[in-house]
Amino acid sequence: MAYRVRPCRSLDELGQAASAIGHYFGWVPTGEEVERFSQVLPVERMHAAFDGKEIVGGAGVFPFEMTIPGGPVSCAGVTVVGVLPTHRRRGLLSRMMRAQIDDIHERGEPFAALWASEPTIYGRFGYGHASLTHEIRLPRIWAALRAGTPARSGQVRLVESDEAQKVLPRLYDRVRKETPGFLSRSKAWWELRRLRDDPSRRPPGSGPLNRAVFEIDGRPAGYALYRIAQSEEDGHWKRNLRVVEALGVDTRATLEIWRFLLEVDWTDDIQAFLLPTDHSLMHLVARVDRLDLRVGTGLWVRPVDVGATLSARRYRSDSRITFEIRDSFCTWNEGAWTLADGVAKRSSRRPDLRLDVQALGAAYLGGFSFAELSRAGLVEEASRGGLARADALFRSDRAPWCPEIF
Ligand SMILES: CC(C)(COP(=O)(O)OP(=O)(O)OC[C@H]1O[C@@H](n2cnc3c(N)ncnc32)[C@H](O)[C@@H]1OP(=O)(O)O)[C@@H](O)C(=O)NCCC(=O)NCCS
């Protein structure tokens, strides 16, 4: 049977290609949903796999910017990857990944990133696991702030969606520009993917999306999006506050927005996902042991053009380092690259480190060190002191944080 992979050419094709992953969620996108989806994922950024005339798989890219140490750069946000169960294990995913990465390369997007629902899938295509997430579930009875926390300041207001649409993006952008892992969000993204609150799409038992803005001297400085879910357990009603996203532009705003969330009366516990591993909440609460801290996987990063990816970053020292890269999927990256004064060039120097492109992706955002990757056998130190020099260069003050799954 002849299969073909090519970019979609119409909304109808986009809908069919998205239906492949939709199959696994029990979701068949309506025409209206496809139209909305196309506002954040342009039709031509969706590849479709065809069996004859029938679309049996899809793989898409959100064209956005992701902040890396040094600032935002363009990034291919890989998403909605799926092949119908009738066509699994015939190489269609591999063919879509091939076509997609060639397209990303031609467009000049230096790297790709994704969230993997199955971490065993993407390594073969050169994606490295680049960040961890923290999840908390804090019983409200243990939700006190630590002794010595500054007295309350400012004021929190609950706002309507229209006001949130005006205020939140500005606050988000301030945090985004300095936090590796954050994504740019278009107006449509805010509307459709953050603030839209279709009752039929709420998590089971969940109430509406609440929008809280923290203001200091009348100026917005932080916000929280959250829902309250009520469920019955052993004849008792339990209420769970689920934080969708909470940000402060500075230390005080972060403290105050979390103080607000932790103090909402009548809730039994407060749950938050996708927090960075260095979130200040760990130091704000009196009982870190009661956070029920769990670790999850985070972003996967794939340098598509190693030279451009390395040159896009800011580094913490001006020492020089040479990588010998192996990349069987994107052979144009293979060989030695010397990074000096923030610019990566092809090189004939002897390497300091030997590694697969995956390991470079894993270290890129500063979430994992070359030393720890080396202890796992993923990086080989080829010159004395190579690991320490690479880590001095790549060190970042902030853990990568992507507050949403895309
Ligand atoms: C995962 C999925 C996209 C794979 O598609 P596919 O067309 O069957 O994959 P391919 O035939 O191209 O397989 C390519 C390679 O990946 C491997 N592979 C495929 N699915 C895998 C999985 N879930 N876990 C581990 N390896 C997997 C194959 O064994 C094959 O390996 P090989 O090259 O060594 O032979 C498809 O099964 C699917 O849609 N699953 C449900 C949705 C999903 O998980 N999507 C990904 C969201 S992150």
What's the pLDDT at 208?
97
Please determine whether the domains at 133-297 and 306-394 fall in the same fold group of CATH.
Answer: no
What's the pLDDT at 204?
87
**Marked catalytic residue, from 37, 111, 122, 223:** 122
SS3 content of the chain, % helix, strand, coil (to 5): 35, 35, 35
Q: State the chain's mean pLDDT as an integer.
A: 97
Angle in degrees, CA 151, 155, 156, rounded to 5: 120
Contact between 359 and 326 (Cβ < 8 Å) = no
What's the pLDDT at 406?
98
Name which residue sits closest to atom 28 of ligand 1, judged by CA. 89
Name which residue sits closest to atom 45 of ligand 1, judged by CA. 82
Average pLDDT on 133-149 reads 97
Strand partners, 297: 132
CA pair distance 404, 406, nearest whole angstrom: 6
Name which residue sits closest to atom 17 of ligand 1, judged by CA. 121
Which CATH class for the 133-297 domain?
Answer: alpha beta
The answer to whether the CB of 116 is under 6 A from ligand 1 is yes
Q: Which residues contact 384 (CB under 8 A, 6 or more apart)?
A: none
pTM: 0.97
The answer to whether the CB of 120 is under 6 A from ligand 1 is yes
Span 329-386, pLDDT tens digits: 999 999 999 999 999 999 999 999 999 999 999 999 999 999 999 999 999 999 999 9
What's the pLDDT at 73?
98
**109 — phi, psi (to 5°)?**
-80, 120
What's the pLDDT at 142?
97
The answer, yes or no, to whether residue 251 has pLDDT greater than 90, is yes
| Atom of ligand 1 lying closest to residue 83 CA | 39
Average pLDDT on 74-101 reads 98
What's the pLDDT at 240?
97
What's the pLDDT at 190?
98
The answer to whether the CB of 89 is under 6 A from ligand 1 is yes
**108 — phi, psi (to 5°)?**
80, 20
| Atom of ligand 1 lying closest to residue 90 CA | 11
The answer, yes or no, to whether residue 394 has pLDDT greater than 80, is yes
84-88, 115-119, 201-205: segment of lowest average pLDDT: 201-205
pLDDT-above-70 percentage for the chain = 100
The answer, yes or no, to whether residue 253 has pLDDT greater than 70, is yes
Dihedral angle sign, alpha carbons of residues 195, 201, 120, 50? negative
**Marked catalytic residue, from 62, 64, 370, 406:** 406
Find, among 383, 371, 395, 392, the residue nearest to 319 by Cα. 392
What's the pLDDT at 233?
87
Query: Is 406 annotated as catalytic?
Result: yes
CATH superfamily for 3-109 is Gcn5-related N-acetyltransferase (GNAT) (3.40.630.30)
The answer, yes or no, to whether residue 196 has pLDDT greater than 70, is yes
CATH topology of domain 306-394: Nonspecific Lipid-transfer Protein; Chain A (3.30.1050)
96-100, 154-158, 233-237: segment of lowest average pLDDT: 233-237
Average pLDDT on 299-320 reads 96
| Greatest pairwise CA separation for the chain in angstroms | 71
What's the pLDDT at 1?
67
pLDDT band of 97, cuts 50, 70, 90: very high
The answer to whether the CB of 93 is under 6 A from ligand 1 is yes
pLDDT band of 318, cuts 50, 70, 90: confident
Domain boundaries, the chain: 3-109, 133-297, 306-394
Query: Is 273 annotated as catalytic?
Result: no
| Atom of ligand 1 lying closest to residue 21 CA | 42
| Atom of ligand 1 lying closest to residue 116 CA | 48
The answer, yes or no, to whether residue 79 has pLDDT greater than 80, is yes
For 41-55, the DSSP string reads S-GGGEEEEEETTEE
How many Cα atoms sit within 13 Å of 240 on the Cβ side? 18
Contact between 64 and 183 (Cβ < 8 Å) = yes
